[in-house]
Structures are given as C-alpha cells and as structure tokens.
Amino acid sequence: MSHSCVIDSEGLEQFDLSDSSIRFGHLRYQEMATENLVCLNDDIWLHKHAAYAFLGMSNAMHRDGVAPVIIRNGYRSYKRQARTFEYYRVKKELGTVKTLTRVALPGHSEHHTGFAVDIRLPKQAANGRLSRSDSYKWLKSHAHKYGFSESYKKNNIFGVIFEPWHWCFNGCAESRALFSTRSLLLKNIDPSNKTLLDIICSNEPMKDYADELFQKFPKIYSALLTH
Ligand SMILES: [Zn+2]
C-alpha cells in the first residue's frame, strides 16, 4: 500500500493528512481545542465532559464494590499518534498493514477528540486480564449510563482488533456530533455483509472503493463523504 509521508526534523514519519484517504476503520478526527481539555494526572488529558462523566463512573464502580479502572491514555495529538504508530510499525516490527489493525493513522484516532480513554485495572486488581475482570463486566452493563461505550468489540466492523481497554464518551451533544458517522456505520452495516466488510476492513485508501461504495451503499458513501 502507499502512503504519502515525509520525515520531519525529529526523524518522525509524518503522514499526509490532507489527502482523502479516509479508511473506514479510521475515520478522520480533529485535534480537540486545548481549552476544552482538563488534565487528570500523569499528563493525561481528557475533554472536560468525558472527564466529569468518568469520575462519576469511577465513583459508581467503587460504590458497587468493583475495582474502579484507571485511565492510562486520554487525549493524543497528531504528533503523539504518529510516534505511537511508528513505535508499532518499526520498533515492534508489525509493518504498516498489521499496525493499522491496532493503531489509527495520525489524524484518524478517537483519542484526538479527548473523548476516548484507554483503561487498565488498578495495581491491586491487575493480576487478571481486564477482559475477564469484574470491572470489565461492570462496564459492559453500566458504562452506557455514563455515556461510555466500547469502540472495538470482538469482530467489530472496523477491522480493528478487540480492544477491551478502549472506551469512548458519547454522552454529550459535542461528542455525538463528532462520532455521528461512526454511529451511522454501526447502525447500517450488517456485519454479515461480506462485500461491505471487505471494503471496510481493507486498509487501502477509501477513494479506491468510491465507485463501488457509491453504487452499492449510497447512504454510507454519503455519510463518509461528509464526515
Ligand atoms: Zn485507545
């Protein structure tokens, strides 16, 4: 696959974000304006609405006797995303295609919005896996009340690996607007539709599929076009 990219002064590969190579699994997101972000701790920043909701959710977990989960990642700039992408692609030797199944290209991560969190179990409960923990079970049944949902469930339509740690806040008008295309895809795509899934899960630029998409799935095509 081809990417247009340049190497910046720090030796980081910078992907060209101006081309229209939207990938289904990686919709495009703007970096959230700094004045909307609040710092939690350890250099973790979140959109204020998500931070407030997360606090309420943590309290509820505590009240219900399960270990409240800890945020290990919140807001990420394009630059930091590029560094993360390169870490997996080069240092971990995954290559571009495999990296795309677990790290979004800079410009395409929900973390840019400040509404997404990566969570982990607290130290005292960290023996087990997050996905098998009571905390995770609790989140599956209650997180939606606080506006949080899992972005990448098992066998998700976006061609991204199962990410039980990645949750996104969809509980205010601003976040709902940002994630409206994503919601539309989830509502309209039948996961058993192989033709469509092949397009979605492909890591080739979307424009390569524009014609086919326009003819077979006009509603989805127009949603993506305006995203
Ligand atoms: Zn994440």
Which residue did the predictor score with more confidence, 102 or 18?
Answer: 102
Domain containing 171: what range?
Answer: 5-180
> Within a domain: residue 227?
no
Residue 39 binned pLDDT confidence (cut-offs 50, 70, 90) = very high
Predicted local confidence at residue 15, as pLDDT: 46
User: How far does residue 156's CA lie from ligand 1's centre (Å)?
Assistant: 15
**Based on the structure, what is the number of domains in the chain?**
1
Distance of CA 172 from the midpoint of ligand 1 (Å): 19
Plot region of 62 (φ>0 → left; ψ -120 to 50 → alpha; else → beta) = alpha
CATH code at position 125: 3.30.1380.10
| Ligand 1 centroid to residue 214 C-alpha, Å | 30
In a domain, 40, yes or no: yes
Does residue 185 belong to any structural domain of this protein? no
How far away, in angstroms, is 185 Cα from ligand 1 center?
A: 19
Beta bridge partners of 149: 168
Instruction: Please indicate, yes or no, if residue 204 is contained in any of the structural domains.
Output: no
- Band the pLDDT of 201: cuts 50, 70, 90: low
What is the Å distance from ligand 1's center to 111 Cα? 6
Q: Read off the pLDDT band of 16 (50, 70, 90).
A: very low
d(CA 169, CA 139): 13
Q: Who has greater pLDDT, 83 or 74?
A: 74
Of 163, 174, 204, 212, the catalytic one is 163
Mean pLDDT calculated for residue range 155-171: 91
Report residue 90's pLDDT band, with 50, 70 and 90 as the boundaries.
confident
Residues in the 5 Å CB sphere of ion ligand 1: 118, 166
Q: What span, in angstroms and rounded, lies between the C-alpha atoms of 190 and 194?
A: 9
163 in catalytic set: yes
The answer to whether residue 7 scores a pLDDT higher than 80 is: no
Whether the per-residue pLDDT at 20 is higher than 50: the answer is: no
* CB 84, CB 98: distance < 8 Å: no
pTM of the complete model? 0.81
